[in-house]
Chain A
């Protein structure tokens, strides 16, 4: 629990400030530090690699955890093939996984722990599937222990063939607000 709280605090700046302030982030000055923007930019770069302009979405094979190590820790992958109504968690970054008391891998999103960052982060997965565009949501919620949590998340559509959405890639972070 202490470890989780430390993780949350280390992401405080990313949520709060436009220029960042993530104490654990060594991003160069002037570089966007907020998680959702960095991931969105990376996603756009992957789409932009298709010079022919035929692909609307990147594929999972193009994702390299080593190029986005800090994002990867907060990331998750949802499988929608055959699970369109209730996608399954396939990959979960260690920091994101720390927000769940149960193992998320292969778990349907409907079974995400209530009132947790995990639940809030995948809450709008269906909207991403239907609109087929990246969506970012944020807000606040109360954990079961009454602690207020501010969070921001993003879910991006991914595709094996570049045209049909076949999975979702997301990330989220949060900070607890002491009352």
Chain B
């Protein structure tokens, strides 16, 4: 069993305006209401009751021009946001890879830095000199 509900958007919510048993009549009336410009939104919802499963399914079979336009605008906005998110993610990915490479390069450079090598040599030389001095002092004492 089918019923065709005309819904109007008022006060921030959809409200059932009227119910028809005929699809053409419901859509005709909804179109008339949409054209009148009195309603921010008009739609027709087909309600199908399945007696076997005792369940009801709904699907929108007509959307007024304003609703369709608003949906289109919303879709365009969300598509733009999605594109921005994807772009930002890719940019972040590129930046992240570059940063990692930079860090690795810096680490390698740090390891092979001449200043670092000279410092190590000086320290080793100092340590060796100290050890030799210590040994010769011990030799003199004995």
Contact = CB atoms under 8 A, between A and B. Distances in A.
B19 interface: yes
Contacts of A60: none
A66 to B, nearest CB: 24
A137 interface: yes
B20 interface: yes
Given A32-B32, A37-B29, A40-B29, A134 B18 contact: yes
Interface in B13-63: 16-22, 25, 28-29, 32, 38
B28 A18 contact: yes
A131 B18 contact: no
Contacts of B20: 135-136
Contacts of B28: 18
B16 A136 contact: no
Contact of A133 (B17, B21, B32): B17
A136 B3 CA distance: 10
A137 B20 CA distance: 6
Contact of B22 (A44, A53, A134, A138): A138
A134 B32 contact: no
A40 B16 contact: no
Contact of A136 (B11, B18, B38): B18
A33 B25 CA distance: 13
B21 A138 contact: yes
Most buried by A among B16, B17, B20: B20
Contacts of A136: 18-22, 25
A32 B32 CA distance: 10
A137 B16 contact: no
A157 to B, nearest CB: 10
A40 B21 contact: no
B127 to A, nearest CB: 92
Contacts of A48: 38
A18 B31 CA distance: 13
Interface in A21-74: 32, 36-37, 40, 44, 48, 53
A133 B29 contact: no
A175 to B, nearest CB: 16
Interface of B: 11, 16-22, 25, 28-29, 32, 38
Interface of A: 18, 32, 36-37, 40, 44, 48, 53, 131, 133-139
14 contacts: A32-B32, A36-B25, A44-B17, A53-B11, A133-B16, A133-B17, A134-B17, A134-B18, A134-B19, A135-B19, A136-B25, A138-B21, A138-B22, A139-B21
User: Which 4 interchain pairs have the tightest Cβ spacing?
Assistant: A134-B18, A135-B19, A133-B16, A137-B21
